[in-house]
Structure 1
Amino acid sequence: MATQMGHGSSEQVAQACEYITGTLLSQDAAKAFTQNVKDKCNNLKKMCEQKLWHQLSLLLEDCVEDAEFQRIPGLLIDLYTNFVLLFALRLNSLKLAQIAVKVSQQHTLPQQAVEFLECTKKLLDDAASGSSPLSSSGGASSSKEGEKEADKVDTEPTLYLKMSVGQLFLQSGNTEKASELMEAGLKMLDKIEDADPSVTASVYSLSSQYHKVNRNFDEFYKNSLLYLAYVKTETLPSDFRLSLAVDVSLAALLGEGIFNFGELLLHPIVTALVGTEFEWLHALLKCFNKGDMYAYDMICERYSSALNRQPELVKKADSLRNKITLLCLVEYLFSLPPDSRSVPLDEIASRAKLGSREEAEVVIMQAMARGMVKGMINQVSGVVTVSWVQPRVLTHEQVQGLSTRLESWAAKLNGTTSALVAQ
């Protein structure tokens, strides 16, 4: 790769255009190209000649995403090295970093891709610190400006590249280096005001994948939802979307501190499960969200073979049973009217499919210890009086149920008011 980035001088533009016509589209090289690739290469040349830098950057983004370009070994790397770098400083630096990341995927070995991205990062750092020809002219005043720019070396493009390097380290099994970059990325993100969504997404993507490798279900779930908050789900490749939907759903079930499924069920990512071999997972999420013990047992029986193919679900079968029992309790207490919050332990035992009121008592104490409910148990009368239930993210169906309860409460209140007025 070049030792510095070009600023699109007349000489560099001429050199870039000559590369397109004389090398890339030469008679021998172009034999392997489809007409689509040839047309886009010619358009790259025209935009470069006219110095339409923004339009050129958009077309370059399109090229590196194009499967026909990606299928030709080494084409994108060659195009980046001999064409893009000649005018790289004229492009938006974040777009340049994103293009470089896509180009790096043509390297067959992770270490080669790491070296490629590290080199790109160094070139961007040199440009930001005033080492590039474009930013090093202007005497004493430019020297001061260069010092200010040097303090801003860790910009969004640099962060984006670092997170991509972290992903490569993770793929190659170097979790220690990936962890270092992840921690540094999270700290750097805190210092950037109004970061570009793609940059924020890259940080949380690395974090989620790191926790997935380390089987930390709670952290994977949290970081995956943060990642999904900064990307458009519909733009994700269908196979990746399904894989992520499966992983996030399993993490929600297996995470020890995850007891609210409403946020996930409202996210479009879970629709990727519908109509696939993992549709049972979607049904299981809805079952846990409702705390429906009877539906849970039916699903376990109906999809036993699919469940048995998930070793973590098998391994944590008792924990899953305990989790849905707690959710059954919370959902039931949440559904009660405010004036009917004294509940017999036998009723709770029946709804949660527990063998005795003593078992119901244990479940209630677990819920209290987790801060899911507040109240008091009267062992003599066998009743629990609930004063507070943990707020939850409600699905559309649950919101409709809450609306019905509020209407009922309002009607009751109006009836009481009317009775008092009549007296």
Structure 2
Amino acid sequence: MSDRMDVDGGDPLTVLITLREEIESTEDSDLISAFYTLEDLYERKLWYQLSEVLSKSIYRDDNSKPIRLRLFENFVLSFGDKLNQLKLVEFLLLSIDQSNALDSLEYLNSLKERITAYGLKESKQSVEEDINDNEVIQALIFVEIETARIKLEMGNIDEATAMIDEGSKKIDQLTNSVDNRVNASYYRTNAQLMKINGDYSAYYYSSLLFLACITDLGELQNKEQIVKEICVSGLLGEKIYNFGEIIMHEIFQYLKDDWLKQLIVALNNGDLETFTKVVHSKDIQSIPDLASNIEFLQQKICIMSLIEIVFNKPTNKKTVKYSEILDHIPLLKNADDVERMTMKCLSLGLIKGLINQVSSEVEISWIQPRTMTMDQIVNMKKKMSFWSDRVQELNDYMSDAGKELWV
């Protein structure tokens, strides 16, 4: 085992007092008070309560950053086998947040050895593959995926990819529910790999899955950058034709670029007018990947406009004339454009139906389910109210007609 993560043999309480004295200069009364609480809980051996104070009061406080790693090495590890092993990994990740990649890898490797030794002891086994403690197994997966993430940052793509694939297999083999921290780590790391590979669609979906694992968005770092990258990947993703999930997510409020918000909402609603204004503005030039893919975005808005036309039609009238499509979507010039766009929709699985060239119309039998925004939900409510009224009218008619039969 590396010496880097060995406890230095000093008394943990002495370590706490030394670190507390160091942070007293910050005049952070809450943090100082939390250290006194740690001392009390440690003396009483209340390990769970102690870990809660570390998690909620110490590691959440920005003033603790300079001393986190020493706190972990010289205090937390002294009772590491008394803690939830996933929590132990979490504390290390917060402690090495400011460390360079090589040091981070060394710390992770050392912790992996400690957790493995603990797991072998608890499972009474001698081979790592035979560890049967679910908490330990997930903690080891957690460490491996975080190791892969750092290797990605270092540019070791092939090695990191193999580790991510192996982590995915191990997660699939788990018989118990997977801890959210493990899922979040996997989806974040996989999203990072997809970004490197230039797979916008996969990056978008992995990022949404990552966000689904975050219980407290306030703890997430770089929210503005994350939501911006998700939105851009959604716009450029060849398989992304619904943005309801990101628009309705809490993180969307952290998107600072109003023009990008407008572009996302316009595409989701098939709003060609707003879309045209945004793509012809100077703002879009700030993101070269978008500026160089205007033609693709125009194809996407045409498809979304068609979907919106069909979606807003009454349930019993899902047939759309070519002329109606051309009127609503000026980017399409003729019947050939309409047919090409419709075939694209069919091939993407966005709709099911037929192209009737003789009658110059498109007959839609199914639209891919999608996450709706509040405005779309309001429109759906109106449609449901209309449908309910028609059903009531039919019910009243059948009731009146039935009376005549019985008479």
What is the TM-score of this pair, normalised by structure 2? 0.87
CA deviation map 1:379-411 (0-9, x unaligned): 233222222222222222212212212222232
Cross-structure match for 2:106 = 115
Partners of 1:361 and 1:187 lie apart in 2 by: 43
Distance apart, 1:204 and its partner CA: 0.8
Conserved in 2, the CA contact under 8 Å of 1:345 and 1:382? Answer: yes
Paired residues for 1:228-247 under 5 Å: 228-232=211-215, 234-237=217-220, 240-247=222-229
Distance apart, 1:115 and its partner CA: 0.3
Distance 1:250 1:151, change over 3 A: same
CA deviation map 1:259-309 (0-9, x unaligned): 112222221111212xx3x121121111111112122112223xx221011
Cross-structure match for 1:225 = 208
Partners of 1:208 and 1:342 lie apart in 2 by: 39
Conserved in 2, the CA contact under 8 Å of 1:65 and 1:102? Answer: no
Conserved in 2, the CA contact under 8 Å of 1:97 and 1:157? Answer: yes
Distance apart, 1:372 and its partner CA: 2.0
**Residue 352 (structure 2) aligned to one of 374, 382, 397:** 374
Distance 1:35 1:329, change over 3 A: closer
Distance apart, 1:38 and its partner CA: 4.8
Cross-structure match for 2:62 = 67
Cross-structure match for 1:323 = 300
Cross-structure match for 1:213 = 196
Distance 1:398 1:30, change over 3 A: closer
Letter in 2 for 1:184: E
Distance apart, 1:60 and its partner CA: 2.5
Cross-structure match for 1:410 = 388
Partners of 1:403 and 1:63 lie apart in 2 by: 48
Paired residues for 1:253-402 under 5 Å: 253-273=235-255, 276=256, 278-301=257-280, 304-353=281-330, 354-402=332-380
Between 305-314 and 163-172, the greater mean CA deviation after superposition? 163-172
Gaps of 5+ in 2: none
Distance apart, 1:110 and its partner CA: 0.7
**Residue 118 (structure 2) aligned to one of 123, 127, 138:** 127
In the alignment, structure 1 residue 163 sits paired with structure 2 residue 145: yes
Conserved in 2, the CA contact under 8 Å of 1:261 and 1:393? Answer: yes
Distance apart, 1:330 and its partner CA: 1.4
Distance apart, 1:86 and its partner CA: 2.0
Distance apart, 1:340 and its partner CA: 2.3
Partners of 1:84 and 1:380 lie apart in 2 by: 76
Cross-structure match for 2:13 = 17
Distance apart, 1:33 and its partner CA: 6.2
Conserved in 1, the CA contact under 8 Å of 2:4 and 2:107? Answer: no
Conserved in 2, the CA contact under 8 Å of 1:5 and 1:88? Answer: no
Partners of 1:352 and 1:290 lie apart in 2 by: 13
Gaps of 5+ in 1: 7-11, 136-141
**Residue 189 (structure 1) aligned to one of 166, 171, 190:** 171
Conserved in 2, the CA contact under 8 Å of 1:376 and 1:385? Answer: yes
Over the aligned positions, Cα root-mean-square deviation in angstroms equals: 2.8
Partners of 1:282 and 1:38 lie apart in 2 by: 42
Distance 1:389 1:90, change over 3 A: closer
In the alignment, structure 1 residue 98 sits paired with structure 2 residue 93: no
SS at match of 2:155: coil
Partners of 1:293 and 1:112 lie apart in 2 by: 51
Distance 1:407 1:35, change over 3 A: closer
Distance apart, 1:127 and its partner CA: 0.9
SS at match of 1:129: helix
SS at match of 1:155: helix
SS at match of 2:59: helix
CA deviation map 1:120-159 (0-9, x unaligned): 11011011101xxxx5xxxxxx856999963448612112
Letter in 2 for 1:258: I
Partners of 2:137 and 2:253 lie apart in 1 by: 36
CA deviation map 1:180-216 (0-9, x unaligned): 2221222222223212212211111111122122221
Letter in 1 for 2:105: V
Partners of 1:223 and 1:355 lie apart in 2 by: 37
Distance apart, 1:114 and its partner CA: 0.6
SS at match of 1:355: coil
SS at match of 1:231: coil
Distance apart, 1:349 and its partner CA: 1.2
Partners of 2:25 and 2:277 lie apart in 1 by: 56
Letter in 2 for 1:215: G
